Chains A and B, each alone.
Chain A
Amino acid sequence: MKIVMEQKKDSKPLTKQSNIEKENKPVALNIKKLNIYYGDNHAVKDVSFSIEKNAVTALIGPSGCGKSTFLRSINRMNDLIPGARSTGGIIYEDVNLIGDDINVVALRKEIGMVFQKPNPFPKSIYNNITHALKFNGIRSKKKLDVIVEESLRKAALWDEVKDRLHESALSLSGGQQQRLCIARTLAMKPSILLLDEPASALDPISNAKIEDLIMELKKEYTIIIVTHNMHQASRISDKTAFFLNGVLVEFDQTDKIFTNPSKKDTEDYITGRFG
């Protein structure tokens, strides 16, 4: 709410915030009647809601409820799974992301993703970040240096690794590796970050660092996070979506979901009665 106007840095000219923006808060993604199937398995059923810009949206629900499937359909990682198909719409500015005409390579640069298990490349810290930059034609050492530092700073990792940029990324701790993965994604200058349980494989201290980082990052990015940790969702998210059996049961302000949910299933889940 407070943040909307400071977001000039994100620098999307207002002209292209097209007619989908009817609410007063800018919308990053507008999900319309989204259905996702894996073969005969109907994994996401008729889901519609909008995701706000520069806010953290948490997706919660028991395992297999479709929240990760939904997340992975936003940057089309589901394309890797043979037999996956979807109908409906994920409207991003003026395009439908699930369309066949989408160039998924360009899409994934704009909508970055960080996975549950830290997955740095077996290369140096520096090269982990430059890997994708070089692919995109940035060759100048100076430019690369600048982006590496900038991304590592944003991911709150710079001070810890600035003296060992050319050591293997595998020598980092799990939490550092995960922040490196975030830095690597930020280097692509995405507008949306998809986080798939980014802290669940980490110890509590690393977990806390990642949460602080997310709070920092939402000033600049739209963040969608899948989490199993109810406390985490309530601490860091602005909006929360509760999924059950592929259906979006409830979507609301996080405070509302955790203090006064309107659906019985939501209440049962957040109070730990199942899942």
Chain B
Amino acid sequence: MNSKVTDRIATSIFYLIAATIVTVLVGLLGYIIFHGFSKLNLEFLTSPSSSFRAGGGIGNQLFNSFYILFLTMVFTVPLGLGGGIYMAEYARPGRLTNAIRTCIEVLASLPSIVIGMFGLLMFVNLTGWGYSILGGALALTVFNLPVMVRVCEDALRTVQRDQKEASLALGITHWHTIKTVLLPAAFPSILTGAILASGRVFGEAAALLFTAGLTTPTLDFSNWNPFDSTSPLNVFRPAETLAVHIWAVNTQGLIPDVREVADGSSAVLIISVLIFNLLARWIGSAVHKKITASK
């Protein structure tokens, strides 16, 4: 076969592949949003779910998802920053650094179901908490930590070397240089990375099945005392998140309107993840502009 003809055939195959990928995404997004959008109303979003009757909402699940996400980020951001700073600024080539790098790699490649099982062992059985929000958030911390460490390390490494030199040459300690020069410069990328990581945490289900559980007790949204058992803020209560809910209604199939609830929940999940994505880009570039602008 003529090489020109082969070249043309190959090119069209590549176009076909690209078109396939785009079609798959448009199909997926279109399907979910088309099917789910009609179910989205205030009542569905705010009312509690029903375990066997039709017409339940996802209010509690939505709250649980955001609450667990919040706690997870409260744990991961400082740890991720610490780890990232260590790797970018203090780690000298050697055994300890290699060990940490390997550990980050191992954590990052652990299947989330395995993290969930570790969570079951540690935060459910060993601590005696049972299924709890705190246990779920801690399991997701393990899940999210390697991502945050990488985000912070990469962000710090891309800060221009001359900024660091400028600060050190003025007789400022390394630690103070990190705090006042490097971290502010790395902040936009860290923020973007953290929001993207939040999207990933928000959609995670497997790590939560055996840590935060598949149920939510009746919640009294007027009770904001975090130590009370009916308070939504109580971290020691079980909590089904939105992603877990989608799985649970589909596999347990106890409610008659599985499709409606799952359609609506998926749409909410996808839209939230989209918002996280857009927010990350927008905030990242806005903060970047503000910092570098010649005011």
Contact A132 B170 (CB under 8 A): yes
Q: Which residues of B contact A82 (CB under 8 A)?
A: 92-93
Query: Is the CB–CB distance between A171 and B294 below 8 Å?
Result: yes
19 contacts between A and B (CB under 8 A): A105-B172, A108-B168, A108-B170, A108-B171, A112-B170, A113-B169, A115-B162, A121-B166, A121-B167, A122-B292, A124-B295, A131-B172, A132-B172, A135-B176, A167-B295, A168-B294, A171-B294, A185-B170, A188-B171
- Contact: A80 with B165, CB < 8 Å? yes
Closest-by-CB residue of A relative to B164 is A80
Chain A hits for B173, CB < 8 A:
105, 135
Report whether A131 and B170 are in contact in the complex, using a CB–CB cutoff of 8 Å.
Answer: yes
Q: Any chain A CB within 8 A of the CB of B13?
A: no
- Contact yes or no, A188 B170, CB < 8 A: yes
Is the Cβ of A109 less than 8 Å from the Cβ of B163?
no
- Nearest first, the 4 closest Cβ-Cβ pairs linking A and B are A109-B171, A171-B294, A119-B162, A108-B171
A61 to nearest B CB, angstroms? Answer: 22
Question: Which B residues are in CB contact (< 8 Å) with A102?
Answer: none
A184 adjacent to B170 (CB under 8 Å) = yes
What A residues does B242 contact at CB under 8 A?
none
Q: Chain B contacts of A109 at CB under 8 A?
A: 170-171
A144 to B92, CA, bound (A): 37
Cα distance, A124 to B293, chains bound together (Å): 11
A interface residues, Cβ below 8 angstroms from B: 75, 77, 80, 82, 105-110, 112-113, 115, 117, 119-122, 124, 131-132, 135-136, 167-168, 170-171, 181, 184-185, 188
Is the CB–CB distance between A108 and B169 below 8 Å?
yes
Where chain B touches its partner, the secondary structure class is: helix
**Chain B residue at smallest Cβ distance from A136:** B171
Interface size class on chain B is: 20 to 34
Q: Which residues of A contact B172 (CB under 8 A)?
A: 105, 131-132, 135
Task: Verify if B185 is at the interface (C-beta below 8 Å from A).
Answer: yes
Given A117-B162, A121-B181, does the pair A77, B294 have CB atoms closer than 8 Å?
no
Q: A132 touching B171 by the CB < 8 A rule?
A: yes
Residues of chain A contacted by B292 (CB below 8 angstroms): 122, 170
- Could you tell me the distance between the alpha carbons of A106 and B172 in the complex, rounded to whole angstroms? 9
| Cβ B170 vs Cβ A77 within 8 A | no
Please tell me if B98 contacts chain A, counting CB pairs below 8 Å: no
With most chain A CB atoms within 10 A of its CB, the pick from B162, B166, B168, B170 is B170
Residues of A within 8 A of B176 (CB): 135
Beta-carbon contact of B171 and A80 below 8 Å: no
Tell me the bound Cα distance from A73 to B55 in angstroms: 74
B160: which A residues are within 8 A, CB to CB?
A: 119
A115 touches B171 (CB 8 A): no
- What per-residue 1/0 map shows which CB atoms of B141-170 lie under 8 Å from chain A? 000000000000000000010111111111
Q: Residues 166-208 of chain B: 1 if any A CB is under 8 Å from the residue's CB, otherwise 0?
A: 1111111100100011001100000000000000000000000
